[in-house]
Amino acid sequence: MYWSQNKFLGNQGFKDTMSRSRFRRLTEYLHLNDNTTQGPVGSPEYDWLHKIRALIEMTRRNFQRYIMPGQCQSIDEGMIRYKGHYFAKQYTPCKPIKRGMKTNTCTDWLMM
């Protein structure tokens, strides 16, 4: 999407910084966790999010440290449309977006 020729979808900053093929090569080899510490598939030690677990934990710690929620909050769930393969993809036939990734959001009136 960032490299799209469509002037509304593309991002010139991304295009000027790096080609799409170089970005794909970098993300192919970029790992945030050591693959040798991953448990075997099917075992209780297996973690579907192992490759990004360090990023998830760092984000969680930073949210706990820096986000101070107020008294007025709104908690909601949403669906991000996604047609690819993903182990946690949801199917809800009665919703406008039937297949995708389910998200939970918490909004504070100060964050709006």
What are the domain boundaries of the chain?
72-112
Q: What is the pLDDT of residue 92?
A: 83
d(C-alpha 28, C-alpha 31), whole Å: 8
Q: What is the pLDDT of residues 36-94, one digit of tens each?
A: 888 888 888 898 888 888 889 999 999 899 888 888 888 888 888 887 777 778 888 88
Q: What digits encode the pLDDT tens for the residues 18-31? A: 888 888 888 787 77
Specify the pLDDT at position 111: 59
CB of 67 closer than 8 Å to CB of 42:
no
Do the Cβ atoms of 74 and 107 come closer than 8 Å? yes
Q: Do residues 104 and 85 make contact, with C-beta atoms less than 8 angstroms apart?
A: no
The CA-based diameter of the chain, rounded to the nearest angstrom, is 47
